[in-house]
Amino acid sequence: EKGGYDHFMLKEIYEQPSVIKDTYRGRLHANEGLIKMAGIEDNLQKFLNADRILIIACGTSWHAGLVAEYIFEEFARIPVEVEYASEFRYRNPIIRPTDVVIAISQSGETADTLAAIKLAKEQGAFVFGVCNVVGSSISRETHAGAYTHAGPEIGVASTKAFTTQITVLTLIALRLAQAKGTMNNSDFHRYLQELELIPEKVAEALETNLVAQTIAAVYKDAPNALYLGRGYNFPVALEGALKLKEISYIHAEGYPAAEMKHGPIALIDEHMPVFIIAPQQEHYDKIVSNIQEIKSRSGKIIAVVTKGDTQVKALADHVIEIPATSDALSPLLTTIPLQLLSYHIAVMRECNVDQPRNLAKSVTVE
Ligand code: M6R
């Protein structure tokens, strides 16, 4: 049932090239320059008339929402707010009939997300679901939606659900950008083609497994870890930290790299591993200077870089190379080595990878 893998988590990590393809199959038509998603086409006017999009979710799904915020605002120029479902539902939020709410949930059963959806509906918002489990409570409670087609995710630590959520949300953002005219035609076509190449690039990113294992052996006993990223990869830093803490019980925190100097840099010494997501992208020079700041305080630097990188490589203690892609799609690749690192660290610490202590696969209680 684990398909020859030691754990469901590893199997699910390795399924990502094929499930990302399943997620865009029938939706992404790169050659024709089309994106077809029934749930979007049927409700296109609602999305186009939306004053803003509210994204509600918990945990890893909330991180996918944060990536989507950057993508929607960049591509479709629609203001986006991302909120924890638990905060949203209890704080008397302002919800208008012109709001589109996107609820993201792998299981489709998360109690807080479900309650937040009911609240948004009561206040007249249009609610769109992004779920993995077909027929789940959230998929039934929402007005429309799009499934992620990741197949069953058994490991409590979410992996393939995250990358397929980002895939669906990217497709939606691209379709809206096309309909709104906020992206020019050649960029639109370029993104479609780039997206189609993602599964094979994810497969290439999975080839970092041995490097990840070697690095895991060096840092497996660290009591703390920091994860840093900028822009589209800031949420990936949060997700990397969550993955490490939930399965290896190492205290980890994710930050936007530039926030370091506002406090967390005080934590840096020679015992602190700092995982930095530093692909060649906009503001690369900024992340290089962030790395220099950490290095001058003796922090240990493990950097996820684009293949062929030289600048970060010269500074870092370890690098993990991933293929190049456009900035907005890079989270789909940078996430992969961080999943593998957490996995190997947890295995080396003899933790129960698939069923970490105190956690349940779906959180159906408040
Ligand atoms: O099923 P959902 O996507 O609604 O679940 C949300 C969170 O409970 C979930 O992502 C959780 O944080 C995972 N254990 C993360 O790996």
107 lines ligand 1 (CB under 6 A): yes
The whole-angstrom separation of Cα 207 and Cα 342 is 16
Report the SS3 class of residue 256: strand
Q: What is the pLDDT of residue 281?
A: 87
Q: What is the pLDDT averaged over residues 139-156?
A: 96
Distance between Cα 184 and ligand 1 center (Å): 35
Closest CA to 229 of 185, 291, 182: 291
Rounded (10°) CA dihedral 170, 255, 159, 132: -50
**Separation in Å, CA 77 to CA 19, 74, 180, 184, 194:** 28, 6, 9, 13, 21
Rounded (10°) CA dihedral 165, 167, 173, 178: -150
23 lines ligand 1 (CB under 6 A): no
Closest CA to 239 of 147, 158, 153: 158
- Confidence at 364, pLDDT banded by 50, 70, 90: confident
Residue 361, pLDDT > 90, answer no
**Closest C-alpha residue for ligand 1 atom 8:** 59
Residue type at 122 in one-letter notation = E
What is residue 240's DSSP assignment? H
Contact yes or no for 341/136 (Cβ under 8 A): no
Cα end-to-end span (Å), the chain: 32
The whole-angstrom separation of Cα 316 and Cα 131 is 38
Closest CA to 60 of 91, 81, 25, 85: 85
Contact yes or no for 274/226 (Cβ under 8 A): yes
Taking only the tens place, the pLDDT of each residue in 285-309 is: 999 999 999 999 999 999 999 999 9
Q: At what angle do helices 160-180 and 59-76 cross, to 10 degrees?
A: 20
Q: Which of 46, 121, 180, 361 is catalytic?
A: 361
156 lines ligand 1 (CB under 6 A): yes
Taking only the tens place, the pLDDT of each residue in 330-351 is: 999 999 999 999 999 999 999 9
106 lines ligand 1 (CB under 6 A): yes
The whole-angstrom separation of Cα 209 and Cα 204 is 10
Q: Structure pTM?
A: 0.97
323 lines ligand 1 (CB under 6 A): no
The whole-angstrom separation of Cα 200 and Cα 206 is 10
Taking only the tens place, the pLDDT of each residue in 18-46 is: 999 999 999 999 999 999 999 999 999 99
Taking only the tens place, the pLDDT of each residue in 93-125 is: 999 989 999 999 999 999 999 999 999 999 999
Kind and range of the H or E run holding 264: none
Residue 164, pLDDT > 90, answer yes
Q: Which residues pair with 80 in a beta bridge?
A: 53
Taking only the tens place, the pLDDT of each residue in 194-247 is: 999 999 999 999 999 999 999 999 999 999 999 999 999 999 999 999 999 999
What is residue 331's DSSP assignment? H
> Is 361 a known active-site residue?
yes
Residues 6+ apart with CB under 8 A from 167: 20, 23, 24, 148, 195, 198, 332
- Confidence at 155, pLDDT banded by 50, 70, 90: very high
Which is the closest atom of ligand 1 to the Cα of 63?
Answer: 10
Q: What is the pLDDT of residue 357?
A: 87
Q: Mean pLDDT for the chain?
A: 96
Closest CA to 159 of 347, 276, 323, 11: 11
Burial (CB count within 10 angstroms: exposed 0-12, middle 13-18, buried 19+), residue 213: middle
Provide ipTM, 2 decimals: 0.99
Best substitution site from 7, 60, 142, 245 to test ligand 1's pocket, by max atoms within 8 Å of Cβ? 60
Closest CA to 208 of 21, 333, 308, 331: 333
Q: What is the pLDDT averaged over residues 252-261?
A: 94
- Confidence at 1, pLDDT banded by 50, 70, 90: confident
105 lines ligand 1 (CB under 6 A): yes
Distance between Cα 313 and ligand 1 center (Å): 34
Distance between Cα 290 and ligand 1 center (Å): 30
Residue 321 region by backbone torsions, left for phi larger than 0, else alpha for psi between -120 and 50, else beta: beta
Contact yes or no for 223/214 (Cβ under 8 A): no
The whole-angstrom separation of Cα 82 and Cα 57 is 8
